[in-house]
Structure 1
Amino acid sequence: MKAEDVRRRLSTPLTGPAFPPMSPRFTDREYLNIVYRTDPEALRAAVPEPLEVGEPLVRFEVMRMGDVTGYGPYTEAGQAIQVSFEGERGEYLHAMYLDNFAATASGREVSAYPKTIGSPRLFVEHGALVGTLDYGSQRVATATMGYRHQPLDLAEAKAQITVPTFMLKIIPGYSGAPRVSELVRTEITDITVKGAWTGPARLQLFEHVLAPLADLPVLEVVSASHILTDLTLAPVTPVHNYLESQ
């Protein structure tokens, strides 16, 4: 294989890349979102400067991907923290757990999504929308919401999930020192909200040393939403270089 051919590749293994060289389109992406109030000190310990924390609010999300070009259907769960950066309000993506390796590798390598492997599920049972997250055989989160109790304004639903998102891109060099250490920004684009609902909700987080969602404890459930969309994720843009600010 010629050197110019190697330079065109995005990932390894060289002859069988872990993910396709494309920007995926999400069709029938279904969200269960529960926004909750947590311990302010725990939140500040988790959020990196120069992001700023206002109200101590976290959004626990479970997303079932009906169809994704290049990856097929999969499910994802995680936590997003309300923050601001240079006056712009957004969310810091704190943790994400997927049941699809290709989407996990792509999210980490091409972008900066804090993805790792887990076993999330989203389903309807006895009149409740249920979202769960297992890490290995251990349950680390259970969320429940009344199924489509009240319609949610579509513009409000769109605003909930199109706020700018911030993430850390950290890649070590061969010496073990950081080679890349950046804060990056992205957002959802080209979105169609097909349906949105709200209702009563509950959220339980369980202690696990390698899936520490419970380090941001649930003190009060603030709101909940169930949203069905088609969308695309924009490429990430670096907004702060930690190696240049030492």
Structure 2
Amino acid sequence: MKKSDVLKQMSTPLGAPAFPVGPYYFRNREYLNILYRTDLEALRRVVPEPLEIDEPLVKFEIMYMPDVTGLGAYTESGQVIPVSFNGEKGEYLHAMYVDNHPAIASGREISAYPKKLGSPRLYIDSDTLVGTLDYGSLRVATATMGYKHQPLDPEKARQEIMQPTFMLKIVPNYDGNPKVCRLVRAQIKDLTIHGAWTAPARLQLFAHALAPMADLPVLEVVSASHIVTDLALSMPEIVYDYLAESSD
């Protein structure tokens, strides 16, 4: 294989890359989102500067994606923290657990999504929308929400999904020091809302050393949403370089 051919590759191994070239389009992507109040000091321990915390809030989310071009079908769960950066309100992606290797590899390598392997599920149990997350054989989270009790304003749903998101891109060098350490920003711009609802919701988090969601405890459920969409992800942009700042 010529050097020019190597440079065209998106991922290894060269003969069978971990994921195909995008863009990736999501059809009927289904969200269960629960916004809850948590401990402010716990948030301060995990949100990196220069992001700022406005309120002690966390969004727990589970997303079922049955039709993703190039990646197939998978489910994802995580915690998202409302923050501000240079006066712009957005969300910091704190942790994501995914059951699909191409989605994990592409999310980490192409972008900066903090993905690791987990076993999330989103399903209907009688009159209840249920989201669960297992790490290995152990339960980490259980979320429940009434199924389609009340319509949610589509514009509010759109604003919720299209919030700017901030992520850490960290790539180590061979000496153990960071080669890349950046804060990046992304925002969904291509979005179609098929339906949106709200209802009473509850969330339980269980302590786990390697999936420490419970380190951001649930003190009060503020709101919940169930949203079905089509969308495409946008490429991130660098907004802060930790290595450049540390060399000044």
Partner of 1:72: 72
Give the distance between the partners of 2:189 and 2:65, measured in 1 at CA.
Answer: 16
Give the distance between the partners of 1:227 and 1:70, measured in 2 at CA.
Answer: 23
Describe how 1:22-171 pairs up with structure 2 within 5 A. 22-171=22-171
Describe how 1:190-205 pairs up with structure 2 within 5 A. 190-205=190-205
Q: Percent identity?
A: 66
Q: Using the TM superposition, give the Cα deviation of residue 66 of structure 1 relative to its aligned residue in structure 2, in angstroms.
A: 2.0
SS in 1 for 2:122: strand
Partner of 2:224: 224
Q: Does residue 15 in structure 1 map to residue 15 in structure 2?
A: yes
SS in 1 for 2:243: coil
Q: Using the TM superposition, give the Cα deviation of residue 72 of structure 1 relative to its aligned residue in structure 2, in angstroms.
A: 1.1
| Deviation readout 1:184-207 (Å, 9 max, x if unpaired) | 000112100000000000000000
Paired residue type of 1:33: N
Give the distance between the partners of 1:190 and 1:53, measured in 2 at CA.
Answer: 28
SS in 2 for 1:244: helix
Give the distance between the partners of 1:22 and 1:228, measured in 2 at CA.
Answer: 22
Give the distance between the partners of 1:44 and 1:233, measured in 2 at CA.
Answer: 28
Give the distance between the partners of 2:235 and 2:56, measured in 1 at CA.
Answer: 28
Partner of 1:175: 175
Partner of 1:235: 235
TM-score using structure 1 length:
0.99
Paired residue type of 2:197: W
Paired residue type of 1:167: M
Paired residue type of 1:73: A
Q: Does residue 206 in structure 1 map to residue 215 in structure 2?
A: no
Q: Considering only aligned residues, what root-mean-square deviation do their CA atoms show, in Å? A: 0.5
Q: Using the TM superposition, give the Cα deviation of residue 106 of structure 1 relative to its aligned residue in structure 2, in angstroms.
A: 0.3
Q: Using the TM superposition, give the Cα deviation of residue 15 of structure 1 relative to its aligned residue in structure 2, in angstroms.
A: 1.1
Give the distance between the partners of 2:151 and 2:176, measured in 1 at CA.
Answer: 51
SS in 2 for 1:11: coil
Give the distance between the partners of 2:224 and 2:59, measured in 1 at CA.
Answer: 9
| Deviation readout 1:69-88 (Å, 9 max, x if unpaired) | 00111100000000000000
Give the distance between the partners of 1:72 and 1:242, measured in 2 at CA.
Answer: 35
SS in 1 for 2:170: strand
Unaligned runs of 5+ in 2: none
Q: Using the TM superposition, give the Cα deviation of residue 145 of structure 1 relative to its aligned residue in structure 2, in angstroms.
A: 0.2
Give the distance between the partners of 2:212 and 2:62, measured in 1 at CA.
Answer: 16
Runs of 4+ in 1 over 2 A off after TM superposition: none
Q: Using the TM superposition, give the Cα deviation of residue 212 of structure 1 relative to its aligned residue in structure 2, in angstroms.
A: 0.4
Aligned positions, number: 246
Paired residue type of 2:188: I
Paired residue type of 2:10: L
Paired residue type of 1:89: K
Paired residue type of 1:245: E
Paired residue type of 1:178: P
Give the distance between the partners of 2:202 and 2:26, measured in 1 at CA.
Answer: 27
Q: Using the TM superposition, give the Cα deviation of residue 31 of structure 1 relative to its aligned residue in structure 2, in angstroms.
A: 0.2
Unaligned runs of 5+ in 1: none
Give the distance between the partners of 1:45 and 1:207, measured in 2 at CA.
Answer: 17
| Deviation readout 1:82-118 (Å, 9 max, x if unpaired) | 0000000000000001110000000000000000010
